[in-house]
Amino acid sequence: MLGWALFLAALITFLLTHAIPARPAMRGRLIEMMGRKRYFAAYSALSLLVLGWLIVAAAQAPYVEVIPPFAVLRWVPLLVMPVVCWLAVAGLTIQNPFSFGGLGHQRFDPEKPGILRTTRHPLLAALMLWALAHLLANGSLSHVILFGLFAGFAAWGMALIDRRKARDMGIEWTRLSRNTSRFSLRAPTPWPSLWIGILALSVFVVLLHLHAPVIGLSPLP
């Protein structure tokens, strides 16, 4: 019971640390008190600590089988994670007026939306695919709850951000987003450059090698 209690405590803490600062009035008050840079630095550090606690708590919770540990499911993260890394790298290296994460400097062209033709939210799409792939490969109740929460958070975030951006941008939303999708199988136009794929593959290889020493479990079938 102690394992479940710790997992529940970590889960509630994770939800509260994301729900409370998400309220505009609370976030504005904290930024006013701490300053923008301090607020985001503190919030990022807190989020990482709580996330680490939640992952450890999920691993230590009693095992209750939800999805049988079929050997073939161990391949799902290996096949999906290169796509996850590609989405994340592509999303970080462009300018994105529709979601967070875009750090690129080139002005967004609605006629050439690139990866945004596939999804306006590359980072959230990457999070959702990562969570679903790991949910299938880790079928215990605690991990189904954990990864299901992340997948649901990503999907909810896409819809929430779309509504907020459409409201804030007004007519510009219709003009700029006409060739984009919330989440689809449409190919990017134009396709991200070769160096994006090389960088994404490099990130995947690094994550693959760090998985066992950091998580304590080999990702290889």
Label residue 34 by pLDDT band (50, 70, 90). confident
Question: Worst-scoring range by mean pLDDT, 21-25, 178-182, 204-208?
Answer: 21-25
Dig out the tokens for 90 from the structure.
């592509």
Q: Are 82 and 196 in contact (CB under 8 A)?
A: no
> Would you state the pLDDT for residue 173?
92
Model confidence at 218: pLDDT above 90: no
Alpha-carbon span 131 to 107, nearest angstrom: 31
Q: Where are the domains of the chain?
A: 1-62, 66-221
Name residues whose C-beta falls within 8 Å of residue 175's C-beta, 6 or more positions apart in sequence. 110
* C-alpha separations of 201 from 99, 195, 196, 208 in Å: 24, 10, 9, 10
Dig out the tokens for 35 from the structure.
């300053």
Alpha-carbon span 185 to 59, nearest angstrom: 33
What's the whole-number average pLDDT of the chain?
89
Q: What mean pLDDT is predicted for residues 20-36?
A: 77
Model confidence at 27: pLDDT above 80: no
Give CA 5 to chain center in angstroms. 26
* C-alpha separations of 42 from 16, 168, 199 in Å: 15, 27, 29
3-class DSSP assignment, residue 170 = coil
Q: What mean pLDDT is predicted for residues 158-174?
A: 92
Amino acid at 47: S
Alpha-carbon span 131 to 149, nearest angstrom: 8
> Would you state the pLDDT for residue 18?
78
Q: What mean pLDDT is predicted for residues 158-162?
A: 93
Comparing 100 with 117, the larger pLDDT belongs to: 117
Model confidence at 179: pLDDT above 90: yes
Decide: pTM greater than 0.85. yes
Residue 23 exposed, middle or buried by CB count within 10 Å (0-12, 13-18, 19+): exposed
DSSP state of 1: -
Cβ neighbours, 10 Å, residue 115: 26
Question: Over pLDDT 90: what percentage of the chain?
Answer: 62
Label residue 47 by pLDDT band (50, 70, 90). confident
> Would you state the pLDDT for residue 87?
95
